[in-house]
Amino acid sequence: MELNKKQGKFSDPRLNKLLVGILLLVLSYLGYEKADLVTSDAASPAVEFSLPSKAIIKGPTTGVPGSLLILDATGSTGDHFAWSVTPELPDGQTTIYPIENSTKCLLTSVPGIYTVFLAVSNSQGIDMVKWSVEVRAGPKPEPDPPKPEPEPDPPKPDPPKPDPEPDFDSEVAKQAYGKAKLAERKPGEVDGLITALKMTVTKAAALNMSVDEINAEFLANTKAVWSSSPDAKTRWSEYRSWQADTLKKNAGSAKQLIQTLQQIVDGLEALND
């Protein structure tokens, strides 16, 4: 191994890349935030690896199921970025998704407490930092209050005038609005579905996903919405059937599928729940 001599000290840039993987393992098991490698010998010149690189993470510390959690390391100083997380999801599910040349990463929104580690290195050394995010499950829906008995022979009010239908740029958006409007919606359900759709669109575009990967990501992101209430799937059955047929018809390419998901978002956002 050839060392580059500079001001009586030696550094090997290739060694720093190798240390990233080793130090991540140390970090995961021992909880170290930084690691310095310095050796010296009274009978020989000192060998020192200085650490001018800087690891910085910015992002949320809490989240809810279906939310888009992005950790940003663009403020860091370094050439190489390596991410790690503990704990990881079971059954081989991906917990973090590095994007933008690993200067950012997407974190799963499955409930749990996650510790994310970032190692940043350059020709001078390695710096590390950790970041904790807690994804909290939403509160259980409260039962509907009992309805009072109607008064005898109540006067019949005039039927309400229907709200004017909004204008849409696509037939998919119009149908999504109509089908969702017919569902027995509970507070927060439409917002949760919109968040899951947007998260799928963002990941699919950022990671250049295939059609199968997009469908799998969409099912995973909407799972929290349909499991938030015991009867959610029943109340939304007609919409869910339409949505499945629409996505199947528009799965000719990843680009077409992403466009269809965005059109569904446009329709749901018009509900103003």
Angle subtended at Cα 116 by Cα 114 and Cα 122, rounded to the nearest 5 degrees: 180
**Band of the pLDDT at 7, cuts 50, 70, 90?**
very low
Query: Is residue 6's pLDDT more than 50?
Result: no
Q: What is the pLDDT of residues 189-204, one digit of tens each?
A: 899 899 989 999 999 8
Q: What is the pLDDT of residues 19-54, one digit of tens each?
A: 555 555 545 544 444 433 322 233 334 344 455 899
Query: Is residue 13's pLDDT more than 80?
Result: no
**Band of the pLDDT at 12, cuts 50, 70, 90?**
low
Instruction: Flag whether the pTM goes above 0.75.
Output: no
Position 20 scores a pLDDT of 54
Position 91 scores a pLDDT of 86
